[in-house]
Structure 1
Amino acid sequence: MILQLKMLMVKIFPYTSIAKDSKILFPDLKELGCGKVLHSNFLKVDTVKVLFPKRKFQVSDSLDAIRVNSLS
């Protein structure tokens, strides 16, 4: 039963492949966390999956803004 649940979770949200791809795309990535977060638009509450990246080193605000804008 637990194995079936884990396999179902991989099919729904492939965290392992996302983590591997993220490491390739962002070599300065130190860790990548994942969790469920409660989100509300004040009309309803929903649970969403969120990724929490942690870089190997701190990037200045100006460089971080450039990086974020280049991904969009």
Structure 2
Amino acid sequence: MFGQLDISKIDSLVKTMCLAWASDKCEYPNETESLYQKEVIDAVASGADELAAISAWMQQLQTTKAGAV
């Protein structure tokens, strides 16, 4: 099924799922999306592995939330 989707639609779906997961991790939604842009989109554009970049972004958000509690 995913093999039939345009890559931009897959990227959009992944971003939507990631931001939904992160919805309670940051106080400000814009911060979450900004971090996603920096840590995932920009990293992948620079040649990083997408799954590794997403994992690092998730870890960063969890660490940030833990520090805020």
Q: Which has the higher helix share?
A: 2
TM-score by length of 1: 0.36
Q: Report the structure number with the largest CA radius of gyration.
A: 1
User: Looking at both structures, which has the greater relative contact order when contacts are Cα pairs under 8 Å and sequence separation is at least 6?
Assistant: 2
